[in-house]
Amino acid sequence: MLPRLLGEVAPIDLFIHDANHAYSAQLREYRCAWPYLRPGGVLVSDDVGNPAFVEFAAEVDARPYLVPGSRMDSAVGLVRKD
């Protein structure tokens, strides 16, 4: 459903991931949304508690920003598309 929806509304300025926080689900959604994000757009991910977000940022050659969450094992991640 996500690829079809993104194709209908692209380009997007902001994508917020706050769904399944499993490593594979996060990577899949980041990779799905990234091509539809306009230059200067931001991808945000809630509950970053595994390496998927940082690995994805490296994959797309973007600098990840992590804001500590309320739990020790969680953060909010932000990455800007150049």
List pLDDT tens digits, range 47-74. 898 999 999 999 999 999 999 987 777 8
Give the chain's radius of gyration (CA, Å).
12
CA 82/CA 80 separation, integer angstroms? 6
pTM: 0.92
Q: What is the mean pLDDT of residues 9-14?
A: 97
The pLDDT, as a whole number, for residue 74 is: 84
Q: What is the mean pLDDT of residues 1-12?
A: 94
Those residues with Cβ within 8 angstroms of residue 64's Cβ, 6 or more apart along the chain or in another chain: 53, 54, 57, 77, 78, 79
The pLDDT, as a whole number, for residue 71 is: 79
Residue 63 burial class via C-beta count within 10 angstroms: exposed 0-12, middle 13-18, buried 19 and up: exposed
